[in-house]
Structure 1
Amino acid sequence: MKSFVVQSTFVSLLAWITLTVALPQVGSGTVTAKARAATSTARSNTVAQAAGKLYFGSATDNPFLNEDATYKAILSDNTLFGQLSPENAMKWDATEPEQGVFTFTNGDAIVALAQANGQIMRGHNTVWGSQLPSWVSDSGFDNATLISVMQNHVSTVIGHYKGQIDGWDVVNEPFNDDGTLASNVFFETIGPTYIDLALQAARAADPNAKLYINDFNIEGEGAKATAMVNLVSDLKSRGIPIDGIGLESHFILGEIPTTLQAQMEAFTALGVEVAVTELDIRMTLPETDALLAQQQTDYQTVVSACTAVADCVGVTVWEYTDKYSWVPSTFAGQGDADPWDENLEMKPAYDGIIAGFSS
Structure 2
Amino acid sequence: MRGRTVALITAAAMTAGLFAAGPAGAGTSLAALAAQGGRHFGAGVDVGQLNDVPYTTILNREFNAVTPTDAMKWDATEPNRNQFYFVRGDRIVAHARQQNMIVRGHALVWHSQAPAWVQSLNPAMLRDALNNHVTGVAAHYRGAVYAWNVVNEPLDAGGGYRNSFFYQRLGASYISDSFRAARAADPGAKLYLSEYGAEGVNAKSDGLYGLVRGLLADGVPIDGVAFQGHMVIGQVPPDVRQNLQRFADLGLDVAITELDVRMPLPRTAAQDAQQAADYATMTRACLAVVRCESLTLWTFSDKYSIIPWTFPGQGAATPWDATMRPKPAYTALYTTLASG
Q: Normalising to structure 1: TM-score of the pair?
A: 0.87
Change in CA separation of 1:39 and 1:121 when aligned onto 2, cut-off 3 Å:
closer
Cα root mean square deviation, aligned: 1.7
In structure 2, the gaps of 5 or more residues are: 1-12, 22-27
Change in CA separation of 1:34 and 1:232 when aligned onto 2, cut-off 3 Å:
closer
Q: 2:59 is matched with which residue?
A: 75
Q: Deviations over 1:225-245 (max 9, x none)?
A: 011111111111111100010
Q: How far off its partner does 1:75 sit?
A: 1.3
Q: Deviations over 1:88-130 (max 9, x none)?
A: 0000000000011110010000000000000010000011110
Q: Deviations over 1:288-338 (max 9, x none)?
A: 111111111110000011001000001000111001111111111111100
- Aligned equivalents of 1:136 and 1:309: distance in 2? 39
Of the candidates 267, 271, 279, which is equivalent to residue 251 of structure 2?
271
- Are residues 1:241 and 2:241 paired? no
Q: How far off its partner does 1:283 sit?
A: 0.7
Q: Deviations over 1:68-99 (max 9, x none)?
A: 1221222122xx10100001000000000001
Of the candidates 72, 86, 101, which is equivalent to residue 68 of structure 2?
86
Q: In structure 2, what residue type is equivalent to 1:132?
A: A
- Aligned equivalents of 1:35 and 1:129: distance in 2? 44
Of the candidates 321, 331, 336, which is equivalent to residue 351 of structure 1?
331
SS of aligned partner of 1:76: helix
- Aligned equivalents of 1:292 and 1:40: distance in 2? 22
Change in CA separation of 1:236 and 1:307 when aligned onto 2, cut-off 3 Å:
same
Change in CA separation of 1:228 and 1:44 when aligned onto 2, cut-off 3 Å:
same
Do the aligned residues in 2 keep the contact of 1:36 with 1:347 (CA within 8 Å)?
no
Of the candidates 99, 103, 106, which is equivalent to residue 124 of structure 1?
106
- Aligned equivalents of 2:60 and 2:90: distance in 1? 15
- With 142-151 and 97-106 compared, the bigger mean Cα shift is at 142-151
Q: 1:221 is matched with which residue?
A: 201
Q: 1:52 is matched with which residue?
A: 38
Query: Counterparts of 1:136-285 in structure 2 under 5 Å?
Result: 136-137=118-119, 139=120, 141-285=121-265
Question: What is the total number of aligned residue pairs between the two structures?
Answer: 321
Do the aligned residues in 2 keep the contact of 1:211 with 1:244 (CA within 8 Å)?
yes
- Aligned equivalents of 2:283 and 2:115: distance in 1? 36
Q: How far off its partner does 1:173 sit?
A: 0.1
- Aligned equivalents of 1:149 and 1:158: distance in 2? 14
Q: Normalising to structure 2: TM-score of the pair?
A: 0.91
Q: 2:274 is matched with which residue?
A: 294
Q: In structure 2, what residue type is equivalent to 1:64?
A: Q
SS of aligned partner of 1:267: helix
| Structure label with greater radius of gyration | 1
Q: How far off its partner does 1:65 sit?
A: 2.0
Do the aligned residues in 2 keep the contact of 1:39 with 1:348 (CA within 8 Å)?
no
SS of aligned partner of 1:208: coil
SS of aligned partner of 2:225: strand
